[in-house]
Amino acid sequence: MDNREKAVIRFNNGCVMKGFLKDFSTELEEMSFEEAGTGAIHRIRIEELKAVFFVKSFEGNSSHKEKKSYGITRSKGNRVFIKFRDNEALVGFLVGDVPWKRGFFLSRQDKGRKGFFLLPVDEDSNNIKVFVVLSSINDVTVVP
């Protein structure tokens, strides 16, 4: 049984890689990533990424229709709606403190922070958590 942390990384340019995190940290400029299947090790700059999806499996469940309603699960933190620069959107629960100054939209982000963790609304999602890279976001709205 493979107990390494499985991840799917999405780049700002649309590319996707599946594999294993080697030295991921929310504070580092780069990380090492072992590509599934080939075992190739890649050094990746965090700013090149849109998000890091920590997943249960690489295959997922294509028949699962992901729920995007906050009412289906117990609150796990601040409810947020994220809109990426490529117009994709995510909803979930923000882990920890809000990484920007007061306001409903992302502005004056804290220097030094590369991103934040988001827990999916749907507990049956293939995603365990998502590390959202701040530089890939267009807007974030905290949902009351």
| Residue 89: burial class (beta carbons within 10 Å; 0-12, 13-18, 19+) | exposed
Contacts for 19 with CB less than 8 Å, ≥ 6 apart: 6, 7, 9, 33, 34, 35, 36
- State the Cα–Cα distance between residues 110 and 142, nearest whole angstrom: 17
Of residues 19 and 125, more confidence is placed in: 19
State the pTM of this model: 0.83
Strand-pair category, 78-84 with 137-143 = antiparallel
Statement: residue 127 has pLDDT above 70: yes
Closest CA to 23 of 48, 59, 2, 52: 52
Mean pLDDT, rounded, for 79-89: 89
Tens of pLDDT along 8-60? 999 999 999 999 998 888 888 899 999 998 999 999 999 999 999 999 988 86
Minimum mean pLDDT range among 36-40, 64-68, 106-110: 106-110
Statement: residue 66 has pLDDT above 70: no
Model confidence band, residue 78 (pLDDT cutoffs 50, 70, 90) = confident
Statement: residue 141 has pLDDT above 60: yes
Residue 73 near residue 65, CB atoms below 8 Å: no
